Structure formats: structure tokens, C-alpha cells
Amino acid sequence: MTSLSRREFMKKSIAATTAATVGLPVTKAALAQARNAEAGWKWDKSVCRFCGTGCGEQVATFEGKIVAIKGDPDAPVNRGLNCIKGYFNGRILYGEDRLTQPLMRMKNGKFDKTGDFVPVTWEQAFDEITAQFKRVYKEKGPAAVAMLTSGQSLVQEGYAAAKLMKGGFRSNNIDPNARLCMASAVVGFYQTFGIDEPANCYDDFELADITVLWGNNMAEAHPILWSRATDRRLAAKDSRIINITTYRNMCSDIADLEIIFKPNTDLAILNYIAREMVQRNAVNMDFVNKHCVFATGPVDIGYGMRPTDKFAFPAEKDTQAQQLKHTIDKYEAIAQRRKEGTVAETAKAAPDAHWQISYDEFKRGLEPYTLDFVAELAKGDPDESLNAFKNKLKQLADYYISGRQKNILSLWCMGVNQHVRGVWVNEQIYMLHLLLGKHGTPGNGAFSLTGQPSACGTAREVGTFSHRLPADMLVANGAHRARTEKLWKLPAKTLNPKVGTALMVAMRGLEDGSVNFVWTQTVNLFQSVPNTNHWLKAARDPKNFIVVADSYPTLSGKVADVILPAAMINEKWGGYGNAERRMQVWRQRVNAPGQARADVWMMLEFSKRFTLKEVWGELPLPGLKVDGFPENKMPSVLEEAKKMGYNEDMTLYEVLFAHADNKKFAWPDPVAKGEDNTVVKLLGDGWFVEKALFEEYRQFTVGHQHDLASFDEYYADNVRGLRWPIVNGKETKWRFSEGNDPYVKPGEGYNFYGPLLKATGTGDLDGVKDATPKPLPGRAKIFFRPYAAYPEQLSKEYDLQLCTGRILEHWHTGSMTRRVPELHRAAPSAVLYMHEADAQARGLKHQDLTWVETRRGKIKMILDTRGRNKVAKGTIFGAFFDEGVQVNQLTLDATDPLSLEPDYKKSAAKVYKA
Amino acid sequence: MEQTNRRQFLIRTAQMTGAAACIGIVWTVLIQNQAQVAAHALRPPGALSESDFMAQCLKCGQCVNACPYDTLKLSTIADVAPIGTPYFIAREIPCEMCADVPCVPVCPSGALDRNFTDITKARMGLAVIDEEMCLSWRGLRCEVCYRVCPVRDKAISLTIVQRETSRHAVFEPVIHSEHCTGCGKCEKACPTEEAAVRVLWPQFVQGKLGEHYSPTQGDNFKVQDIGKNTNIAKELKPGSKEQAAPGMNYFNQSGGREGEIPGGKP
């Protein structure tokens, strides 16, 4: 750096990267000079720590520290570019207040729930955690303990946690924060295709003629994908971008059409477009007849709130009552072909039940969704004229029905998934594409984007959900359990057949006493779950024990009993899987500070503290009623285990993790290329944990439509991630279509081969008429889903619609990005975006400190009427990254009843001067 | 509370220093300090032109007291602005552009124009972007300056361009001087190590076209102004010999070549 000024150096190295990115020539001298300045640095591939885009990074280390970072020019996702969060990827490891020692609440040298946190050894921490776990587990069984993980957990971490919980503790109470983010998408995939994850890929951004955003502020939430979509808009003059949203955001800056709609009326708009397709003879009947069936399900499914008001705050009771009974309003009456004022009771039947219907019934369902009806219902900006809005809806339908020559790509994310009818909206978007026969081919498809870097790779594919097993298998399916038990070498009936508690249910469980032990990993739930005032209090109940593993002090840590310091991204070996099924990996590059450890080590170390006889004997499991299992309890499998060669004093570590097959993967391994592995060193028994776990997990995927490549293949120098299924060394860009997907045979054209839910009863719009399961092999379901209102409507008192979300500068609850001074300076606090007229009507002005209040709590926020999000009158918006503001004290914990994913976007609020 | 006390203290110190200066104790320092204000030391909104401002400012600190965000400071000895005068540094605390502009009406002297009420008309400085170091110009998705700009889309807009063979559009922030108030929020928020966008006195960064040249139709293009400063001599009566007509002397001189006769005559 001596002969080169910093500025010159930056210019040159940026120029080199940029040149590689954009194909500009760069002089050899400039390159050499840049390289000279980096002498001694070691560059290696990595992945951005933040969103679901999955940008490739190059990380440079020197003398045990990360010294530089740049977008990876060879990464096809981002081609050398980053957003401002990615630019600071290296800095997030080095915040001043990194946690470096386990902390525990103590009094007089012992754990005490009322004590203050003091540093303890890992040994002390594990002793107390184990004792508390065993207390709850012995008394109440596997349903009272919960492991809450993350869509940011590494693949191996998720796999180890899931295997320990499900195979070891026989508890399905493991659920990731992906429940708060992608669960609605998952159920949409299951019900429509019988298999999870998108059929499309990022290549479609450059191939689409019409790109439609349904509730997805890509400009801020997927910054690099947005620059691709924007580039396409500029490159192809006839291409179009359409932004369908409840408030004006940065995507509107380049959109050709912006539609501001009232919350939940996306359900009606989608039906209007489908109705237009039918009316204009635009349905691709050939495709539909060959590859699809029509289906529908029950309507009165509630809002995923508790069926009792026992735990509700007094002000919450009227909203909660909606869970049991709901009065059909004027618009629902038309949309659902019912009488206004009918009191609809929430059906006892499963909300996810569904059955096949005829095309005529499907059309009958769409009939009420005329332009006049939908426009009046859906118009979201009071300042827009009805006629202008009608024209926009018509234009939108025109774009969808613009003929075979036009490629159309629909994209969505949190606006659709965090929705009391999120599964339905997912299914309706597939409905449009299936009616057109435009799905899963280059440039055409309904593409569900993902929020977190490994919501797909870890939470969904590995199966860290309470209902899942690896590779799209389900705990409730006997054959799936049997296959898992075989691969995991477990005695039959070790696995629990009862779906565990979803994340929101587990949080409620802390309050109602059904869950007493919670361990959180890579997640700050007490800030990110809606309606936090309940759970913040419940965590401090003396019966409950909370373990928080994290890298930085978070709000969740404040209500925990033990805090475990966690290693971060480049401090451990791991992999992430992004939204286009691309698995990407990195090596451990630096050591974690102090005693911070990888979550996978914590899981393995914890497993050493349990012998088989403590967990594989008979266990209480209230509510279990499954064929082949005793009622209300899990059977002992110890005898069976002994036959398999286990003895009851073996630890879960020996049985689940450090078994002979895994120990074959020895450390060191040439793939390390001189890099270290702290997890292996700490365990001290010489096996390459991350490789062994990956290869064990991989067995679930191969031959089962999820084929992953081998560990070593992902680490090859020239590989920047691969999109599964990877068959015969070739990745898959588009699924289900012939010539693109290796699982589709020649001559089939399409094959929606997903195996789940592939036989249903038949009936009409009102219900099942014949319950005999009718198979639908190779077909996708086109769902009719009606419009339904959301539970907490605006009232005279709570007169503003509160929407929450993200901003470009910060990631989730800000526990990492708020430690980067530059990002903090760029967006120091979450402000309340409000329309100028709404502010004036309340005697408020820009920059005033205000109270924002809902039935659940009130917080102070600074008012912003000039904000990046230009909300219409009646709408307010607050981001959830700010611990100083805690928007989720306000949000309603209603969920989609099918996916149990909360709806963060529709709380009724009032705002007044503080 | 501590904050306020400290602030009061600083203001008082500055005032006292000003007073001391008046009685000549630190006269020489003051003389030196009367030099130019630094380009990044910005004046409060509504400030008169610098010379008028300096002439009228009483150095009383009222505007500093009125500022709700601690943006304004009074300069001290050897500071970036002449002693006792109010200023702010964008990278430290930018102007929040209060709609009621509380700093202006409290000014007793009119150094801050009492008729100034519309904060969007403020021209405290002008943002200028270092395109070489700006992350957005490099193709990264940053645009922090754009999003924090209180007059976004007017003072800063994004020009979205394709970039060679890259498949990622570039979102280039561009400043528009006719709307930039110089509040400094962009400089404060810029995430690069040294801000890649700076707010400086407009005269330090703005060029000026020749008034004769109109790049677009409809400008205030005054053709009669061309050459207004040249001294074209009056026309003389034909045959007049008292004064030289334009060019006359020149023509009457020899061509300067050897052998030629001065005056052009044989």
C-alpha cells in the first residue's frame, strides 16, 4: 500500500472487479498494481450473509482477519456487484460488542431466573441447560421443548438441529423463522405442485417481457435482483414492469404500471384476471386438460389466532373474537356468493383440506369478480379516481393475456406470504400461469422469491420445520418416517408422527404453559415475532427456560436465561441455498472471537449429554392418536435399538453424529486448502463434521427430485453454486418442463411430478361430494380461492392501516447491520411513514415524535411524511429492524390458518403526538 | 440535560471569546480568523450573501439556541468559520429542514433573512458527488443519499442506465442544484469511509456558462448583452480627421515588411 495511495488503490481494484463484471478492458499494469497491494491476502469464495438473493462474494483474509470483501465477478447471481449491506459483509464480524463468553443468570453461584447475567464456562452453561431440558422433558415429554432456528442457519447446522430434535429427542418442535417468512409459499407449493420450491430461476429476469411484482418491494428487499430486473427493462424496450402493492415504494420508480390496492384485495384482483382469461378465451385448454385439475377448499378457516381469549389483553378481545365468528361483509357476500350479515363460524375441518372441482365450477367461482366489483373493492389510494383504477386493472389483465409470444414472470415475497390468506394468494398466482400454460419455462413462470439466505437451502430443504423431514418428506407420513429412520439408522417408531409446534404456536406455548424450554439459534424472535408484549413477558415466567445463541446482544437475549456466543458466517464451514435452488458453500476463514462457537458444535456437544435410555424409552405425548402408536405417548424403542447393536448408555452424539459412516470423513481433507476447522478441533475426534453431515443429508436428496452434488463438487474452484436437481453433473434451471428438468421424460411435455397430496376427493364450490381419493398423477392443481376480508378492520378509534417491512440498509432485526456504523448512520432509526394530509389532520408534522398505538401496545416513532415509501392516505408504514422502536409490539399475531405464517401487514393503529 | 448544559457552555464560550476579541485582547488572532469561511462550513438557512451576512451577524448565538437538533454551532478561535458566527458541518449534524425554520425568526439583525420562510428555498450549500468513489456509480445498490434526501426526486434523482455487458442496471444518483437546499443529509448518511457526496458552498463547486451561450431554447438568452463590456468607439463623420475611426490607424500603418513605406504611401 506504500507506493499506491489508498484512493488510487481503490480505484484500481474496483476497476479490476468492475471491468471483469462489465467486460471492460483493464490494463495489465493496473491489475498488477492492484495485486501487488494485496500481497499476502488470501481470497476465496463466500456468500453474502443477508437476503435470499444469494450474491457471491470474494473474501480476503490476512493474518487471521477478514481484510477485504468484494462481489464475486464470477458469481452468476450478482456478477461482482453487491448492495450496501453486502458491501459491509466483512464488517459484521467485528462489532465492538460481539458476544465472546457464555452468560447465565446467577445468584449465589447458582443459576437463578431472577439473577443478573454473569460470565460462565461452556461447561457450566451446558450443565444448566441440560438440567433444565431434562426437567421439562421428563415431566411433559417432547412436546414441551422447542428448538427455534433460522433461514440463516447453515445447511449443516439445520441438519444437526433437526436430527437431534427429531431423531434424538423424538420431538417435532423444531421450527425456523422461515415460518415467519416462507411458510405460505411452502404450503402453496405443496398444494399446487406436491413438491416445494420454485420451478423458475434468476435467468428468467433476462428473459421475461412482462415482470409483475405482487407485494414485493424488490428495489429494497432484493436489491441486486432488482438491478437485474431493471436492466432487462432498459435493454428490451418492449418489456414492462408492473408493481402491485399497498403503498408506493421504490419499485414504482421504474414500473410502467403501479397498482395500489387495499390489503387482502389481491385475492379479488387475481380472480378478476382469471375471469378475464376465461371471458377472452385466453385459457390454454390443451395445457390445462393435459397437466392440471381444478380444486378448491373450505372458506371459513379463521385467522390463525387462538380459539380462546384467555390470554388476550382486554383491548385485543374484539379482534380475537373474529377467530371464532366472522360477519360476512358486503364485498365478501358478493365474492363468496353469500348473504351480507351472515355470521360465519370458523370450520372445525382442517383449513388445508381441498378437493377437485370441475372447470365449470371453477368458472362459477370466478363469475362475481367483474371489473366493476373488483375495482370498487380493491382501490387502495383514496386520491385515485375509480375510473383510473379500473383502467389500470384492465391494463394488468391485458398484460397477462398478451399472447404466446410474450414471456411473463410473476414475482412475490413477503407481501403475499405474510398474509392471512397467503397460501391462497400463492395458489392464485400459480392459477394465472397454469391457465396460460406459462410456468417453469425460460422467461415464463410464477416465481416465489425468498427472504433469507438459506430459507430454501436449510429451513425448507433440510426440513427444520415442525412438519418436515429432509428433502420434502413429512413427519405425518409413515413411509417418509420409515425412509428417514432407515437412513438415520433409527429403530422403527423412533420418529414422532405428530406435527410439532409451529413457531408462533411455540411462542404462545410459553404463555399458556404448553412449552417450557426454548432454544433459539441465529434468530431474534422476541423482536421479530408479532405481538411481542405477550412473549417478552412469558419468557420471564419462572417455569420457562430460554436459551439464546447469538453473536451480538439482542432483545431476545434480554429475556433469556442463558446466552451462548455464536460464531458467524466466515468463522465456520457451511453452505446456503438461495431462492433459485442454488446451493453455495464457503470455508472457515477466520476464528471466532473469544469463546464464540458454531451452532453445529453446540448441537453436537449438547447431544453428548443424553443417553439413549433417557430419550428412547416411553415418553408422554398428549394428543397423539396415530395408527400403530399407543395413545398419548411415544413407545419405547430401546429393545429395538439393542437389536440394532446400540446399547442404552450410548450418547446421542455417538448414535446420531459420530457414527462409523460419518467418521469415514476424516479431517484434514484436501478440500480445506489450508483453512482451519474449529468445530473439528473442539470435538477432538478427527471427523470432518460439516462434510460428513452434508453427505449424510445428501442421501435423502439423490433420486428424489432434490439431487444435490457432492460436498467436494460445491467446493471446486470454478463452481459458484449449483441449482438442484443436479443429475449427471448437470444443474436444473427450470423444473417440470421437458428438456429442462431431468425428471420429465421425453414426450411428456410437462410433468408436475411432485408426490404430495396427489389424490383428493371431488366436489363443488361448497364442499366435498365424494370423499374417495381421486389420483392426479403428474398434474398441478388450479385453485379457486375467494376474496376474504382480514380480521382487524379499521375502526373510528384505530383508523390507520399499519404495514411493516424492510429497508435496504438493514437486515431483519438489525443485530448485525446496526453494528456497522456506516449502515447505522445511513438509517439510524425506523421512522413512521405517513401521508402529509393524515399528519396534518392529527396536528402532526414531519419529524414529530409520535405515539403509535394498537390494541396490543404502543411505541414512540419519529414521523416521516417525506419518506422513501409514499403511503396513500390511511396507510402507515414502519420497518422492524429497530430495537429502539420495536414495531412488532404493535403487530397482530393472526396467521394464515394453512401455513401458520403471521400477517405483519394489517394491524389497525392510531397515531398521536408524543 | 448534560447535552444542553454543554451546549450552553459552548455557546457562552464563543460569545465570551467574541467579547474578549472586541476589547482587543486577542486582536491578532481575530484578524487572522477573519479569513474566509471553509467551503464545508455551511451557514444557517436564509443567510444573506456571505459579505452581507458577516456585516450583519451580531454573533449572538440565537439561531444556534433555536436549532432543535444541535445542528448549528458558533465558531470558536481558529475554527472553520470566522469567530462567533453560526455554521454547521454536514457530516457531523446536517440540517433537518424544519418546516417552521426556527433558527431564522430569532435572528435579531436580519443576517438571516426575516422574509425567509420556505425551507425548500434554502441554499445552504450544494451537494456534489465524487463519481469515482460513489458506490452507486460503481454499480452497487446503495443509493443511501437518494433515500435520505428530504427533497428526493428533485434535489437527487436516480439515473438508471445499462452498463455494457453487465446484466445489472446502474442506479446513478444525480444532484440538481435548482432543488438542493444543502441540508447535508446525503453527506451525513453516505456509507463510504470519506463521504463520496459532499455539501459545499455553491460557489466552490458550481461553474457558470458564458451568458451569451444558450444551450437550450427558452433560456434567458439576451443577444443584446453580447459584447456589452467592449468599448466600441462612436462612429465618426465621414471625412473627419480629428479622431481615428476604428481600424483607421491600423490601416494607415505599414504592413511591417522590410522595404514597405510607413503609412502605406510610396
pLDDT of residue B216: 57
Do A546 and A459 sit in the same domain of this protein? yes
Distance from CA of A435 to the nearest CA of B (A): 31
Give the residue from chain B lying closest to A18, CA to CA.
B138
Do A574 and A495 reside in the same domain of the chain? yes
Active-site residue among A451, A500, A574, A857?
A: A451
Same domain, A539 and A407: no
At residue B239, does pLDDT exceed 80?
no
Q: Enter the C-alpha cell of residue A679.
A: 468445530
Query: B168–A78: do the CB atoms touch at under 8 Å?
Result: yes
Q: For residue A611, what pLDDT is reported?
A: 98
Contact A827 B144 (CB under 8 A): yes
Share of chain B above pLDDT 90, in %: 55
- d(CA A144, CA A147) in angstroms, rounded, equals 10
* A353 located within any domain: no
- Told to judge if A201 belongs to the known catalytic residues of this protein, a careful annotator would answer no
pLDDT for A17 beyond 60: no
Statement to judge: residues A147 and A197 lie in one domain: no
What CATH number corresponds to the domain at position A672? 3.40.50.740
Q: Are residues A494 and A610 in the same domain?
A: yes
* pLDDT tier, B31 (very low <50, low <70, confident <90, very high otherwise): very low
- Is A451 part of the annotated catalytic residue set? yes
Strand pairing partners for A58? Answer: A45, A70
The DSSP call for residue A800 is E
Closest by CA position to A794, among listed A710, A684, A718, A907: A907
Mean model confidence pLDDT for chain B: 80
The CA distances from residue B256 to A466, A562, B248, B259, B263, in Å, are 104, 101, 16, 9, 10
Class of the CATH-defined domain B125-206: alpha beta
Q: Quick one: pLDDT at residue A311?
A: 97
Tell me whether residues B139 and A21 touch, CB distance under 8 A: yes
pLDDT digits 0-9 by tens, A442-454: 999 999 999 999 9
Our answer to whether residue A406 is catalytic in this structure is no
Q: Closest Cα partner for A130 from A521, A506, A541, A545?
A: A545
**Cβ separation of A83 and B142 shorter than 8 Å?**
yes
Residue A899's domain is classified under what CATH number?
2.40.40.20
Per-residue model confidence (pLDDT) at position A37:
73
Compute the nearest-CA separation of B147 from chain A (Å).
Answer: 6
Yes or no, beta carbons of B166 and A205 under 8 Å apart? no
Same structural domain, A248 and A224: yes
Cα–Cα–Cα angle for A245, A177, A781, rounded to 5 degrees = 60
Q: Tell whether A323 is covered by a domain.
A: no
> Does residue A452 carry a catalytic annotation?
yes
- pLDDT 10s digits, A260-278: 999 999 999 999 999 999 9
Q: pLDDT digit string (tens) for A451-467? A: 999 999 999 999 999 99
d(CA A294, CA A274): 13
Structural domain count of chain A:
3
What is the band of A23 on the pLDDT scale with cuts at 50, 70, 90?
A: very low
* pLDDT tens-digit readout, A575-591: 999 999 999 999 999 99
Any CB–CB contact under 8 A between B160 and chain A? yes
pLDDT tens digits, one per residue of A835-889: 999 999 999 999 999 999 999 999 999 999 988 899 999 999 999 999 999 999 9
Asked, for residue A767, whether it belongs to a domain, the answer is: no
Q: A542 and A441: one domain?
A: no
CB < 8 Å to B160, chain A: 230, 234, 253-254
CB pairs under 8 A between A and B: 111
Q: Do residues A909 and A890 lie in contact, with contact meaning Cβ atoms separated by under 8 Å?
A: yes
Pairing of strands A468-469, A633-634: unpaired
Q: Is residue A36 predicted with pLDDT exceeding 90? A: no
- Claim to verify: residue A678 and residue A599 sit in the same structural domain: yes
B168 → closest Cβ in A7, A81, A825: A81
Contact criterion met (CB below 8 Å) for A712 and A665: no
Looking at the structure, tell me whether residues A817 and A907 fall in a common domain.
yes
Q: How far apart are CA B186 and CA B128, in angstroms?
A: 10
What are the tens digits of pLDDT across the range B205-226? 888 877 666 555 555 544 445 5
What sign has the CA pseudo-torsion A905, A911, B3, B8? positive
Residues spanned by the domain of A884: 800-913
Phi, psi of A647 (to 5 degrees): -120, 155
Question: What is the DSSP code (8-state) at residue A745?
Answer: P
pLDDT of residue A521: 97
Residues in A touching B171 (Cβ below 8 Å): 227, 230
CB proximity list for A106: less than 8 A, separation 6 or greater: A112, A115, A116, A117, A118, A120
Active-site residue, from A48, A104, A147, A182 = A182
Residue contact A825–B147, C-beta within 8 A: no
Residues A558-576: tens digit of each pLDDT: 999 999 999 999 999 999 9
- CA pair distance A726, A9, nearest whole angstrom: 41
Is B189–A868 a contact, with Cβ atoms under 8 angstroms apart?
Answer: no
| Structure confidence at residue B230 as a pLDDT band (50, 70, 90) | low
In sequence order, the 6+-apart residues with CB closer than 8 A to the CB of A773 are A759, A760, A761
Residues of chain B contacting A235 with CB distance shorter than 8 Å = 162
Rounded to whole angstroms, the Cα distance separating A846 from A238 reads 40
Q: Is the domain of A374 the same as that of A509?
A: no
Q: Which residue of B has its CA nearest to A845?
A: B99
- Counting Cβ atoms within 10 Å, is residue A371 exposed (0-12), middle (13-18) or buried (19+)? middle
- Least confident window among A500-509, A831-840, B118-127, B247-256: B247-256
Query: What is the share, in percent, of chain A residues with pLDDT greater than 70?
Result: 96
For residues A290 and B35, what is the distance between their CA atoms, to the nearest angstrom?
A: 84
Active site residue A83: no
Is pLDDT larger for residue A256 or for residue A347?
A: A256
Q: What is the pLDDT of residue A707?
A: 98
pLDDT digits (tens, 9 = 90+) for B33-75: 455 788 899 999 999 999 999 999 999 999 999 999 999 999 9
In a domain, A369, yes or no: yes
Catalytic position from the list A51, A55, A165, A181: A181
CATH number at residue A240: 3.40.228.10
Specify if A612 maps to a domain: yes
Other beta carbons within 10 angstroms of residue A541's beta carbon come to: 14
Residues in B touching A87 (Cβ below 8 Å):
135, 140, 142, 191
Stretch A464-478: mean pLDDT: 97
Indicate whether A264 and A407 sit together in one domain.
yes
Minimum CA–CA partner of A71 in chain B: B140
Q: Which of A55, A305, A414, A861 is catalytic?
A: A414
Nearest to B191 among A81, A822, A847 (CB): A822
Q: Which residue has the cell 412475490?
A: A412
Query: Considering A705, A732, A753, which residue would you say is the last residue of a domain?
Result: A705
Q: What does the mean pLDDT of chain A come to?
A: 95
Q: Domain spans of chain B?
A: 1-121, 125-206
pLDDT surpasses 60 at B1: no
- Whether residues A22 and B139 touch (CB distance < 8 A) is answered with yes
In contact, B129 and B159? CB cutoff 8 Å = no
What are the cell numbers at A403?
399472447
- Statement: residue A347 has pLDDT above 90: no
User: Rounded to whole angstroms, what are the CA distances from A103 to A541, A678, A683?
Assistant: 19, 21, 22
Domain termination site, one of A661, A688, A705: A705
Q: pLDDT confidence of A404, banded at 50, 70, 90?
A: confident
Residue B16: what residue type?
A: M
Point out the residue among A84, A205, A868 whose CB comes nearest to the CB of B191. Answer: A84
Which of A318-327, A488-497, A695-704, B203-212 shows the lowest per-residue confidence on average (mean pLDDT)? B203-212
Residue of B97, B137, B140 to mutate, interface with A, max A Cβ within 10 Å: B140
Residue of A nearest to B191 (CA): A822
Residue A81 to residue B171, Cβ atoms within 8 A: no
Collapsing DSSP states into helix, strand and coil, what is residue B39? coil
Instruction: Tell whether A345 is covered by a domain.
Output: no
Q: Which residues of A touch B192 (CB under 8 A)?
A: 822
Residues A506, A406, single domain; the answer is no
Is it the case that residue A495 has pLDDT exceeding 50?
yes
Please give the single-letter amino acid code of residue B14. Answer: A
Q: CB count, 10 Å around CB of B93?
A: 16
Is A48 among the residues known to form the active site? no
* Percent residues over pLDDT 90 in chain A: 94
Which residues on B lie below 8 Å from A223 (Cβ)?
Answer: 141
- The mean pLDDT of A139-153, rounded to a whole number, is 97
> Distances from the Cα of A86 to the Cαs of A11, A91, B26, in angstroms?
19, 10, 52
Burial classification of residue A315, based on how many CB atoms lie within 10 Å of its CB (0-12 exposed, 13-18 middle, 19 or more buried): middle
Residue range A73-77: average pLDDT? Answer: 95
